[in-house]
Chain A
Amino acid sequence: MGGGPATPSDVDSLDDRSSEDAVEVSHRITTRTAQDPLGARAYEGGSTWGERASSYDGEEGTGEPKRARLLYSKSKVYLHPTSYLRDNIPGFISIVQLGTSTDYLLAWIPEASIEGTPDYESYVLVELSSDSEQTTLVTPPPPSSAHAFSIPIRTLYSLQIQPPTLSAWFGSVTFSLYGGDVFPPLYFHDEESRSTVLDRDRRAAALGALGADRREGGNGAGIKVPPSWGGEALLGQLRQYAQIVRSQLEPSLFLVNPSRSDLEVHSTALFEDEAVPSEAMQGMRLRNGDAESMSAGERSRREGKRNSILHQSLDAQEYPDEVGPGMDNFTFNVLNSFSRITRGARTAAQTAAQSVLSHPLAKPILKNIPEPIAQFATAPGELTRLQETAGVGAYDAARVYLAKWARVVAEEGERARRAEVVISGPGGRAEDTEVGAFEVLSSTYKITRPKSTRASATPIVDTEWAAWFDDHGKLMLTEEEAKKRIFQRGLAHDVRRDVWPFLLNVFPWDSNTDERKALRKEKTAIYESLKAKWANDEELQKTDRYAEESHRVEIDCRRTDRTHPMFASDDEDFNQADSPHPPSNAHVKSTQEILLSYVFATESRDYVQGMSDLLSPIYVVCEGDQVMAYFAFETLMERMKGNFLRDQSGMKGQLTLLQGLLRTMDVQLYKHLEECGSLNLFMCFRWLLCSFKRELSFDQTLQLWEVLWTDYLGTNFHLFVALAILEAHRDVIIRYLREFDEVLKYTTQLSQTLDIEAIMADAEVLFVTFRQVVEASDCQRAAAAASTDPEKGGMRRRKLVVEKEPEEEGAAYPPTLPPKGKGKEVDGLEKEVVELAVEEVPQVDEELRVLLS
């Protein structure tokens, strides 16, 4: 993929400088990471500054390295060459001026490269002195090399900025240059950075002042609050040397000295809430003093129109002459074009997205916008194919429509990526993305990345299963070992019939062949009597209860899995000439009998919708053996009966657990769902009620269920499966969906699109992660109890920063502070915030611990 245009408008050529003088630096770095050859190799395989970036040596022709004026410096800006913490390289990001040149350089050097030199002190000094007019001279930063860069600011094309969130610990900035080079992201470890710690104190002070100001009725406008994290500080600095404009297309993208055409492309919003009527459209944005800091942008996005796009687009198109007072022309146009996407069938969406993104001007930015959207620019043939995969119907709300697209396209991308990994072999950054869901979590909790132990490529086959038993038909493995293997590898289809009765406790794991024979006989008798209880009881059959239950069971069985070969045919014998029901057959009838036997086995049971879905796979695996299927089903119902309680308390309990899990594991998604009014997780209701059966193909259902039944990772593993599905779609959900109905529609339509293997692997990783989080949280609590010094509680301190974020959101602040008047003094406020923070340490609710059992 290409980067920015070949050159900035005002730069003719860039020198390539020999990288000899960078040898020392790279050498040092190499030794640092030498103990991890894999990681080092992985990094070299990636983008390195030495090979790919243009370097620059200031004034041409002068061999003597001059002293450079250090204008800005920030420490603890890290390169993460691999996913291992130990490989992270701390460095200084800086802005320097060579001589009197107005060509300012942006540079990053590893701390190690200047450690022990006077330069090091200068960097630290400049970092700590704010807005100092004092001149500090340093050795000019080395040219770009494998692990350092220095480039003129004017060669910057864009910055991709990811602020830190509670779920992504380190904010990052990725620089792209004209010519297409993209540097690896730099991560701001602000907790370690002197200037940010300093800033924090200033922020606390400003916060106090702001509070006081409010109480006095002032507007607080005069108070300048320092930036909240390093990336924002850097952005603020860069704004002094270049015009920086935030893209409307991709809010995390900031264009540096954008050309007119770039401005136009990036001011065309795809979504109405990003369509902040922008001065950039008229080229009016000023270089400096731009009020649009990161957080302000964030705010305007959030305060944007939250009504469903569906409603708005309808409005816009229907009455184009009547533009409401709150709607300027620009917004109107966006809405109007959106309504075309919404309403028009397939081609309109293609055209709309393509016309924006296939424009030659859009090319350079494609790499900077999210893959799903970028893919809109692909060839029309490709689009049609993707569209078919997505099953995009004739009509969907615009967001759901786009979200579905995004998903399919992302999945395509993932497939392509996997194919690539296979080609390039291990050592790439494959493992980072393989468990995408983990990405966010790992940075939140600073825990090691677990790996899935699943090896589904080698399911247990019949010969192997047979080999686990001795001559008497007694299992030689322990029950735990057998379950573990089943969890990790799954079962080949033809062995399921033998294994499922064990998994579902029809046969004890330690039984032998004779015992099982006897059991089987016993159970056959029991089943026959259960069946006779309703089938031979004419009195019962006259009751309302029977009429109702048998009606329910019948209509549901006749609607269950009728595409499966066993249930697909219809059989004359079972069909009255004119029945309101779809035709039936012997197997359908047989499942009805099992369900009725289950219902009438006790006085208090009744049939509840969803049960027929639970029975059908068991029945199929038991190959129509009613006795086996009945007892296996009964065990399954024991596991699941909470879901079917009359008062729905079981389902509510499950959804509550899932909600708590989500809050612990991905607070960003949690908050987004909250904003969408979807925190009831109603969209997961069907998933849980019948254990994902409606979401998966028949075979996938079998694969998942046998894994769930091992209880290898607790009896609530299905909630991690649910979380894994949500996580796999979190980006799409957060980015595209805004309303309860949109979220519901999107999730419902995930049905039959899921990759169950990936989901199970993710679920395992999430489970282990969660366990680590619980442990971390316990340690944290113990540590907090042991120490009253807030400076010592790592997580607490972290929270302190997080806690202050709402401040930028103006009206939203203070959402959690105690009533006014309490934190008058700066001191007092600081203390309160700390106390709040302690409460908000990612603690794991006691109730959630059940997830580990």
Chain B
Amino acid sequence: MSSSRRKVLLKVIILGDSGVGKTSLMNQYVNKRFSNQYKATIGADFLTKEVMVDDRLVTMQLWDTAGQERFQSLGVAFYRGADCCVLVYDVNSAKSFETLDSWRDEFLIQASPRDPENFPFVVIGNKIDMEEGKRMVSQKRAMTWCQSKGNIPYFETSAKEAINVEQGFQAACKNALQQEGEADIYSDYPDAIKINSHDADQGYGCAC
């Protein structure tokens, strides 16, 4: 099977400080709605969404995690096998921007992807619906950071007003697919070891 014909399930991890709007963004993207009722995320949860990318049907599994640093140590349970990581900050909070570095580093440590240098990230600056005076992180500053980290695609969004959300996640999806290239996207899957120990499974989705 050529790689282009393979089934696709993309695991996308959404990270960022508490309150920046990860849950809101995910729900806006998947369910097309915004609610004031989302609670602080405890533990982790995921939603799935199917999208067409260049005539390919792709299932995205979006993992929403808790924002407080101390809960990151649990990340290892679900970071592994990630195909892309979306880093979110709140454009009205400098602090949430400054922590992006550590979110990124911590993710790379815990997910331990095969090629950390080229692992696909997307950065989202959220809550741009607020009045301009509140803004604490300029677009320029954010883009400079993204460039310094190997040209990470950058999007400014509002989960509340549904601005640019679709574009941000679509970029995440495309990047993950591109990254996949000739590599087998399943080799990072948590079950990879188990799966490969059964010859019978090799007929599935794995051309190797």
- By a beta-carbon cutoff of 8 Å, the part of chain A in contact with chain B is 303-308, 310-312, 314-315, 318-319, 322, 324-327, 343, 395-397, 547-548, 551-552, 555-556, 559-560, 562-563, 578, 580, 582-583, 608-610, 612-613, 645-648, 677, 680, 682-683, 685-686, 689-690, 694, 739-741, 744-745, 748
Q: A305-B204, A343-B50 are in contact. Are A680 and B77 (CB under 8 A)?
A: yes
Judged by a CB distance under 8 angstroms, whether B194 is at the interface is yes
**Candidates B36, B57, B186, B201; contact of A318 at CB < 8 Å:** B57
- Which residues of A are found within 8 Å of B9, using beta-carbon distances? 310-311, 314
> How far is A311 from B184 in the complex, measured between Cα atoms in Å?
14
Q: A326-B204, A578-B134 are contacts. A690–B191 as well, Cβ < 8 Å?
A: no
Q: Considering the complex, which residues of chain B in the window 183-208 have a beta carbon less than 8 Å from any beta carbon of chain A?
A: 186, 190-191, 194-195, 198-205
B150 at the interface (CB under 8 A from A): no
- Is B109 engaged at the interface, CB distance under 8 Å to the other chain? no
The 9 A-B pairs with the shortest beta carbon distances in the complex, nearest first, are: A326-B203, A324-B203, A315-B7, A555-B19, A582-B36, A685-B43, A686-B43, A314-B7, A686-B42
B interface residue count range (under 10 / 10 to 19 / 20 to 34 / 35 or more): 35 or more
> CA of A748 to CA of B46 in the docked complex: distance in angstroms?
10
In the complex, what distance in Å separates the CA atom of A508 from the CA atom of B37?
Answer: 38
- A645 and B19 CA atoms in complex are apart in Å by 20
The answer to whether B39 touches A559 (Cβ under 8 A) is yes
Verify B134–A580 contact, CB threshold 8 A.
yes
State whether the Cβ of B70 lies closer than 8 Å to any Cβ in chain A. yes
- The answer to the question of B61 belonging to the interface, with a C-beta cut-off of 8 Å to chain A, is yes
Contact flag A562-B18 (CB < 8 Å), given A311-B9, A548-B95:
no
- Contact call B42/A682, Cβ cutoff below 8 A: no
**Contact string, B75-101, partner A, CB cutoff 8 A, digits 1/0?**
001100000000000101101000000
Do B44 and A744 touch (CB < 8 A)?
yes
Give the residues in chain B near A741, CB-CB below 8 Å: 46, 61, 78
Binary contact readout B155-173 vs A (1 if CB under 8 angstroms, 0 otherwise): 0000000000000000000
Q: Which residues of A contact B117 (CB under 8 A)?
A: none
Closest CB in chain A relative to B164 CB, distance in Å: 17
Provide the residues of chain A in CB contact with B8, threshold 8 Å.
Answer: 314
Query: What chain B residues lie within 8 Å of A677 (beta carbons)?
Result: 190-191, 194
Interface residues of chain B, those whose CB is within 8 Å of chain A, are: 1, 5-9, 18-19, 36-46, 48-50, 57, 59, 61, 66-68, 70-71, 73-74, 77-78, 90, 92-93, 95, 127, 130-131, 134, 186, 190-191, 194-195, 198-205
Residue B204 contacts which of A327, A343, A645, A680 (CB distance < 8 angstroms)? A327
Q: A739–B204 contact, CB under 8 A?
A: no
Contact A612 B40 (CB under 8 A): yes
Given contacts A303-B198, A318-B7, A609-B71, contact A685 B42 (CB under 8 A): yes
From B40, B48, B201, contact of A326 by CB (8 A): B201
B48's nearest neighbour on chain A, judged by CB, is A395
CB pair B37–A609 under 8 Å, yes or no, is: no
B201: A residues at CB distance < 8 A: 305-307, 326
What's the minimum C-beta distance from B201 to chain A, rounded to whole angstroms? 6
Chain B residues within 8 Å of A563, by CB: 37
CA distance A683 to B78 in the complex (A): 11
Asked if A326 and B202 sit within 8 Å, CB to CB, the answer is yes
Contact B40 A556 (CB under 8 A): yes
Known: A303-B200, A310-B48. 19 other contacts (CB 8 A): A305-B204, A307-B191, A307-B201, A307-B205, A311-B186, A322-B1, A395-B48, A552-B19, A552-B68, A556-B19, A580-B130, A609-B71, A612-B40, A613-B39, A682-B74, A682-B78, A683-B43, A744-B46, A744-B78
Please name all residues of chain A whose beta carbon is closer than 8 Å to the beta carbon of B130 when the two chains form the complex.
578, 580
What is the bound-complex CA distance between A647 and B7, given in angstroms? 39
Q: Which residues of A contact B41 (CB under 8 A)?
A: 609
Q: Which residue of B lies closest to A552 (CB)?
A: B18
Q: How far is the CB of A368 from chain B (nearest CB, A)?
A: 29
**16 pairs from A and B in contact (CB 8 Å cutoff):** A305-B201, A306-B201, A314-B59, A551-B93, A552-B68, A559-B37, A562-B36, A645-B70, A647-B70, A680-B77, A682-B43, A685-B42, A686-B42, A741-B46, A744-B46, A745-B46
> In whole angstroms, what is the CA distance A556 to B18 when docked?
9
